[in-house]
Amino acid sequence: MAGNGDKNRPKKDPRLITKSAREEFERKKEFRKKAKRKARIRMIIVVLIFLLLLIISTMFFSVISFITALKKNDLQSGITPRKNEPVNILILGMDIGDADQEENKSIRRTDTMMVLNYNPNTEKINIVSIPRDTLIQVDAYDEYGNLRPYWKINNAYVLGGEEEVIKHVESLLETTINYIVEIDYDAFRNFIDAIGGIDMYIEQQMDYDDNVQNLHIHFNQGETVHLDGKKAEEFFRWRKNNDGTGFVDGDLGRIRNQQAFMKQVLKKCLNPTIIFKLPKILDVVKENIDTNMPGDKMVSYGLRFLTNSGISMNTLQGYDEIIYNEYFLVVEADKNREILAAIKSGEVLSEDKSRADYNVLVLNGTRINGLAGNVKSEMESIGYSGIVVDNADKRSKSIIMCNDKDLKEQLKIDTGINNFQKNNNEEYGNYDAVIILGEDFDAF
């Protein structure tokens, strides 16, 4: 009976069995694929965590090594600021002194001088450049044995080392210098190489050769050039060309050029990828820079600076005076009240403008065809950009209409025109200055 029952039981359709097995096979196949994907993801996460830990540990040991092995030197001890008190860091860019005595640091002069002022209460940074031609008073003998009371501040290091420099800087800025950082051009080149170089737009033609220092500077106006350490040094040091052309205002123009360069360096250092270059940067600082700032302070301040957007750069102002047949800059307190106040208050100053930041209209009020165009070309050769030219009614005397005090001083130097009046003409409201050339104008 049982056998007959099995015979009478309905048989399964072979097609259904095949379909069911196929679906099961596909499910298992998909499960295995998902399992493999999860395994790969887990592996990637493990690798990423390992790499992150490796990076963190590398950075940690680099910082610890930097703090404990910061280059020893003979600099006087720094002055540690009290909690929440502003800190002033004097940064000196040193020249090589005598090319035949490069190891003799006592005969080096300061090629660049600036003070970095940081206020932890406002988290603002003011960088103040001090022109190297700034007049200081020191009773000392020159190389010919003559006693002289007047010197340029870039000689202060030779006259009395960092103590002499600090004394005069503190007097000029009416503040206390907490720390000093000395950087020579070897350190400068190595640092720029460590961050991977920077891109710089060349505003002026640069052609200068000094065979004694083996310094050869050649950049074409209007090009954007990638500067490695060596090229960056050349750009940073340039002041004039072989034919005597260059910055009309000498060292002040050079400082503006350097500040533009520093902004590009800061921009590069703010890039998140800079963290991968940190060990190399710290090695450069450790081996090449003299400072009396403790390593932990340097790291702490450095991190604050790199995450700070409130940074301004300005230059001490004064007037030129010729002494010993040399040009000196006599710093005037009245012209620097805002800078001195900002250092004390921690407020950020509006930055010095460069020539390229101004909109200038040049009008030809003479019988000389093309004079305004010639003036435009000359002004663009020293850094102005976007100058507009046109004609004006004939006039005998040149005049500049301008409301900006700093621009007035700059145009007086650049054009030789001393006749100014306020620009109250709505027609010229889009211009920072309007230069009207008269018959008395002496071409550049």
The count of residues in the chain is 444
pLDDT at site 294:
81
pLDDT digits (tens, 9 = 90+) for 16-43: 556 566 677 677 777 777 777 777 777 7
Average pLDDT over residues 140-154: 91
For residue 353, the Cα-to-chain-centroid distance in whole angstroms is: 14
Banded model confidence at residue 1, pLDDT cuts 50, 70, 90: very low
* Residue whose C-alpha is closest to residue 265's, from 295, 235, 296, 288: 235
pLDDT digits (tens, 9 = 90+) for 209-241: 998 888 899 999 888 899 999 999 999 989 889
> Does residue 3 carry a pLDDT above 60?
no
**Better-predicted residue by pLDDT, 282 or 209:** 209
pLDDT at site 128:
92
pLDDT at site 385:
78
* Residue whose C-alpha is closest to residue 73's, from 97, 92, 98, 100: 92
Average pLDDT over residues 239-246: 88
pLDDT at site 53:
57
pLDDT digits (tens, 9 = 90+) for 42-68: 777 767 666 655 555 555 554 445 445
- Strand spans (E) along 66-197: 87-94, 110-119, 124-129, 135-141, 147-152, 179-184
pLDDT at site 278:
78
Averaged pLDDT score across all residues of the chain: 81
pLDDT at site 50:
61
Reading the block at residue 323, the tokens are 């002494």
pLDDT at site 99:
46
**Better-predicted residue by pLDDT, 124 or 399:** 399
pLDDT digits (tens, 9 = 90+) for 74-133: 667 788 888 878 899 999 998 754 445 455 455 667 888 999 998 888 778 888 999 999
Residue carrying the six token digits 């031609």:
133
* Residue whose C-alpha is closest to residue 238's, from 223, 224, 258, 220: 258
- The DSSP-derived string for 410-434 is HHHHHH----EE----GGGTT-SEE
pLDDT at site 209:
92
Reading the block at residue 235, the tokens are 């750009």
pTM listed for this prediction: 0.64
- 355-437 CATH fold: Alpha-Beta Plaits (3.30.70)
The Cα–Cα gap between 103 and 156 comes to: 19
Residue carrying the six token digits 């029952």:
5
396 Ramachandran zone, left/alpha/beta (phi>0; psi -120 to 50)? alpha
Side chain identity at residue 281, one-letter code: I
Task: With residue 44 as reference, give the H or E element that holds it.
Answer: helix 14-68
Banded model confidence at residue 10, pLDDT cuts 50, 70, 90: low
Reading the block at residue 289, the tokens are 């820079």
Which homologous superfamily is 87-345 in? LCP protein (3.40.630.190)
Q: What are the phi and psi torsion angles at 104 (to 5°)?
A: -85, 95
pLDDT digits (tens, 9 = 90+) for 348-359: 555 556 777 788
Banded model confidence at residue 70, pLDDT cuts 50, 70, 90: low
